[in-house]
Amino acid sequence: MNSVQDWPEPIIRVQSLSESGLPIIPERYIKPAPDRPSFIDPEDSDANIPIIDLTGLSGDEACNLPATTLDQISSACREWGFFQVVNHGVSPLLMDQARETWRSFFHLPMEIKQAYANSPKTYEGYGSRLGIEKGAILDWSDYYYLHYLPLTLKDYNKWPASPDSCREVIDEYGKEVAKLCGRIMKVLSMNLGFREDCLQNAFGGENFGACLRVNFYPKCPQPDLALGLSSHSDPGGLTVLLPDHEVPGLQVRKDGKWITVKPAKHAFIVNIGDQIQVLSNANYKSVEHRVIVNSAMERVSLAFFYNPKSDIPIKPVEELVSADKPALYSPMTFDEYRLFIRLRGPKGKSQVESLKSPR
């Protein structure tokens, strides 16, 4: 297998480019016309992804959600692959602290951040590109990537030491969001007609994985030519995104159009990743999304990825496979799957499509 050692070109921090005050962006960041934000008129500028109230979900009780809420979640998973949740049980204060702590990290002097510079081998640390294709067109963002679980991968030395209390806040945030994911997994299992622990068991039970990517999108002098993050579907299980409360940017693909998400106050944005698309035999969709940038405001977002144990084969749950509805995917471990993406960078939905069993 191809071994990944280092980036194919010297890394340029997008934040430094932005702060240098260039009036135009380097060619490396200019997307081909069909991929540009302005290519399709945003006709549905009022549209939004569903907003779902999770009052009743918190606590250890399996699930006290009303049937109408379960139905809303079911439709959102089938039709959108995305929804926002409010009253989700994670403290608004912790959400704000987590986002603002990370914002402060990105505002630290470059020398401090460079100490955490990442490599394509594990991606952990401070990064500025996904994929190692030489000459690739790049996205207008920097990021920080770290592991919470499994504990064998959790390494505080790879987490930022400053700003003060950064590690504590990140830790607490991860614990709370992982609990929320556990509860959402139960709801999805029941909605698919399984026992509530079915999906979690398919993820390896307590041995699931969890990691965080914090995205930093600097101001961009030519936002119509670039993307903050190219179109992709999330490779993992479930994603819980804490968006910037002031700056929109996330767009979700729906019926061929890009819908700009308008975050509700203290909401999380939840989306189905490729692994749940596979487990659900495509009843639930891992939907393409991307991020646009703007010239007036930077944007910070925290994407928490809740993933299967990385070395167990993931394949459609047997109850969803029948003569009428054969398994759409061949088994693959998340380790194998992730390697694709780490080599190629964001490529729409081509990864999960390529898992389709030949027939």
Q: Token match 């029941």: residue?
A: 190
- How far is CA 329 from each of CA 40, 293, 351, rounded to the nearest angstrom? 32, 35, 12
Q: Are strands 51-53 and 82-86 parallel, antiparallel or unpaired?
A: parallel
- Give residue for tokens 């969001």: 177
Amino acid residing at 299: R
Cα 172 to chain center, whole Å? 19
Q: How far is the CB of 232 from Ni ion (least distance, A)?
A: 6
User: What is the smallest separation between the CB atom of 33 and ligand OGA, expressed in angstroms?
Assistant: 22
Stretch that binds ligand OGA, among 1-9, 110-118, 241-249, 336-344 (CB under 6 A): 241-249
Q: Which does 351 bind (CB under 5 to 8 A by kind): Ni ion, ligand OGA, none?
A: none
Phi and psi (nearest 5°) for 209?
A: -110, 160
- Contact criterion met (CB below 8 Å) for 234 and 307: no
CB of 137 vs Ni ion, minimal distance in Å: 18
* Residue 289 contacts ligand OGA per CB under 6 A: yes
Q: Binding to ligand OGA by residue 226, rule CB under 6 A?
A: no
Smallest gap from Cβ 98 to ligand OGA, in A, equals: 14
Report the residue number, 191 or 233, with the smaller CB distance to Ni ion.
Answer: 233
298 binding partner (options Ni ion, ligand OGA, none; Cβ < 5 to 8 Å by kind): none
- Of the candidates 133, 228, 342, which has an alpha carbon nearest to the alpha carbon of residue 351? 342
Query: Judged by CB, which is closer to ligand OGA: 51, or 70?
Result: 51
- The distance of closest approach from Cβ of residue 304 to ligand OGA in the complex, given in angstroms and rounded to an integer, is 9
To the nearest whole angstrom, how small is the minimum distance from the Cβ of residue 140 to ligand OGA? Answer: 12
Nearest-10 Cα torsion for 156, 157, 163, 167: 0
| Separation between Cα atoms, residue 100 and residue 179, nearest integer Å | 22
For residue 62, CA distances in Å to 87, 106, 180, 185, 303 come to: 16, 38, 12, 11, 25
* Interactions with ligand OGA, residue window 175-214 (CB under 6 A): 213
Residues 218-247 that bind Ni ion (CB under 5 A): 234
- Asked if residue 291 binds ligand OGA (CB under 6 A), the reply is yes
Q: Which is nearer to Ni ion, 198 or 250 (CB)?
A: 250
- Tell me if 347 contacts ligand OGA by CB under 6 A: no
Stretch that binds ligand OGA, among 113-121, 242-250, 252-260, 335-343 (CB under 6 A): 242-250
Pick the binder of ligand OGA from 160, 174, 218, 243 (CB under 6 A): 243
Residue 208, C-beta contacts closer than 8 angstroms, at least 6 positions apart: 149, 200, 237, 306, 307, 308, 309
Tokens 């027939």 correspond to 359
Query: To which residue do tokens 């999304």 refer?
Result: 289
234 binds ligand OGA per the rule CB under 6 A: yes
CB of 295 to ligand OGA, least distance (A): 18
**DSSP secondary structure code for residue 128 in this structure:** S
- CA dist 131 and 109 (Å) reads 26
Q: How far apart are CA 199 and CA 317, in angstroms?
A: 9
Instruction: Work out how close the CB of 143 gets to ligand OGA at its nearest, in angstroms, rounded to a whole number.
Output: 8
Q: Is 250 in the site for ligand OGA (CB under 6 A)?
A: yes
Residues that bind ligand OGA (CB under 6 A): 213, 215, 229, 234, 241, 243, 249-250, 289, 291, 301, 303
Residues that bind Ni ion (CB under 5 A): 234
